[in-house]
Structure 1
Amino acid sequence: MVTVGVTGGIGSGKSTVCRRWSELGAYVLNADELAKQVMVTDPEVKKALIDTFGEASFNGDGSLNTEYLAEQAFEKGRVKALNAIVHPKMPAAAAREIKKAAEQGYDIFVYEAALLLENLEPGSLDYIVLVLADEDKRINRVQKRDSSSFEEIKQRISKQRDFEKATEKVDHVIRNNGTLEELKKKAEIIYQSFKRDE
């Protein structure tokens, strides 16, 4: 099974690439979804979240209070505290998902993560794909997607790494400044190259 990491900034189009690969038959795992799963299912993480951010971290039914935690992390400047609790558990959780995908007979496993390059253990994935887009295009896409203000999006972009400077750390770069169809076509070409390597 070929393992692939996908990264890129907000609004770059990495989720669209992953969706296309999922349609083509890949097992796609999103790091944010995995982190939420870890927060709810890992007793150590759950306890640390409550100790650090309070009982309001979870709803009455035991589900994650994502709005509250996002507010605590991003608006109160406590992202590092949240990451320190969750990130150490992510490699093992991702490894379990890779094993599950292999057992289910998937040929290609895709891991989508904005912080992939920060948290990646060297050699843990076969390929890394970086999706890039011009800032004005990214802002425009995010505004259409979730009605955030221009200032809010600019602020979120400023907190992410400069992905343009990361091109030498990856195996493939997809530039997404054209149409949706063009992006899907680029994604399909790279996917076929993975298929040849399995």
Structure 2
Amino acid sequence: MIKVGITGAIGSGKTTVCNIWKRLGAAIFFADDEAKKLMVTDEKVRGMLINTFGSETFIDNHTLNKPYLIHEAFTKGRVAELNAIVHPAVGAAFELFCRDSENKGVDVAVKEAALLLNNGRPQNLDFVVIVESVRKIRLNRVMNRDNIDEKKFFERDENQPHFESLHHLADEILINNGSLAELEVKSKKLFQKLLKINLKN
């Protein structure tokens, strides 16, 4: 089985690529969704969050107090502390996901994460893809998808990595400035490439 990492800026189309690959038989692990889940369901993670950010991190001990945690982590510049708690748990969950997928006969396991390359290239990945789109196209996609204004988009976009500076860490840069049909063709072609790499391993 080949382990693939995919990342890209907000509105680049990385989730769409993952959904196309899923239809072709890939197992997809959405790291951001898993992180949100683990913050609530994993006792160790919950305990560390409370010890680090205080009991206000949770409402009634079961519901994540998102506005509070966002304020504590992002407004107060404590994102590194949050990542140090959550990222190892997400990494362990991905390894378990890969083992389960391989046991089911899956050839391609994919980890989708916005911050995939923030600390360099993960050693446990065989292939890394960055999905790129020009900012104006991403802006229009996200405004239509999330029903937000330009200001909100730029706030989110500025908090993301500058992916152009991370190109050297990727095996493939998938350009997505065209139609969905064009992206489908490119995604299928790249998936066939991944299957061939898997056969060689």
Q: Would you say same fold, with TM above 0.5?
A: yes
SS at the partner of 1:124? coil
Q: Decide whether aligned partners of structure 1 residues 67 and 98 sit closer, same or farther in structure 2, where only a CA change above 3 A counts.
A: farther
Partner of 2:154: 154
Q: Distance in 1 between matches of 2:45 and 2:184?
A: 37
1:71-82 equivalent positions in 2, closer than 5 A = 71-75=71-75, 77-82=77-82
Quote how far apart the aligned CAs of 1:122 are: 4.3
Give the structure 2 partner of residue 24 of structure 1: 24
* 1:48-197 equivalences in 2 (<5 Å): 48-60=48-60, 62-75=62-75, 77-119=77-119, 122-197=122-197
- Give the C-alpha shift of residue 41 in structure 1: 3.0
- 1:59 and 1:120 map into 2 onto residues whose CA distance is 35
C-alpha contact (below 8 Å) 1:20/1:184 kept by paired residues = yes
Who is 1:2 aligned against? 2
CA offsets 1:84-122 (integer angstroms, 9 cap, x no match) = 221232322211111111112211100001111124664
- The residue matched to 2:148 in structure 1 has which SS? coil
Q: In the alignment, residue 45 of structure 1 is paired with which amino acid?
A: V
Q: Which amino acid aligns with 1:101?
A: S
Hey, what's the Cα distance between the residues in 1 that align with 2:91 and 2:121?
Answer: 8
Distance 1:61 1:43, change over 3 A: closer
Q: Structure 2: 5+ residue runs without aligned partners?
A: none
Greater shift, 25-34 or 75-84, is seen at 75-84
Q: Which amino acid aligns with 1:138?
A: R
Assess if the C-alpha contact under 8 Å between 2:120 and 2:169 holds in 1: no
- Which is further off, 56-65 or 102-111? 56-65
In 2, Cα distance between equivalents of 1:74 and 1:139: 22
2: distance between equivalents of 1:77 and 1:150? Answer: 24
Deviation track 1:125-158 (CA, whole Å, cap 9, x = no partner) reads 1100110000111111111111222112112212
Seen in structure 2, the aligned counterparts of structure 1 residues 148 and 74 have a Cα distance that, compared at 3 Å, is farther
Percent pairwise identity: 43
Q: Is the 8 A contact 1:38 1:93 kept in 2?
A: no
Letter of the structure 2 residue corresponding to residue 57 of structure 1: T
Question: What SS does structure 2 have at the residue aligned with 1:116?
Answer: coil
Q: Which amino acid aligns with 1:168?
A: H
- Cα 1:95/1:119, change in 2 over 3 Å: farther
Q: How large is the Cα RMSD of the aligned pairs?
A: 2.0
For residue 13 of structure 1, report the CA deviation from its aligned partner. Answer: 0.5
Q: Is the 8 A contact 1:30 1:111 kept in 2?
A: yes
Provide TM-score, normalisation by structure 1.
0.89
After superposition, the Cα gap between the structure-2 partners of 1:121 and 1:138, relative to the gap in structure 1 and judged at 3 Å, is: closer
Residue 71 of structure 1 and its aligned partner are, at CA, apart by: 4.7
Q: Which 5+ residue runs of structure 1 have no aligned equivalent?
A: none
Hey, what's the Cα distance between the residues in 2 that align with 1:153 and 1:76? Answer: 21
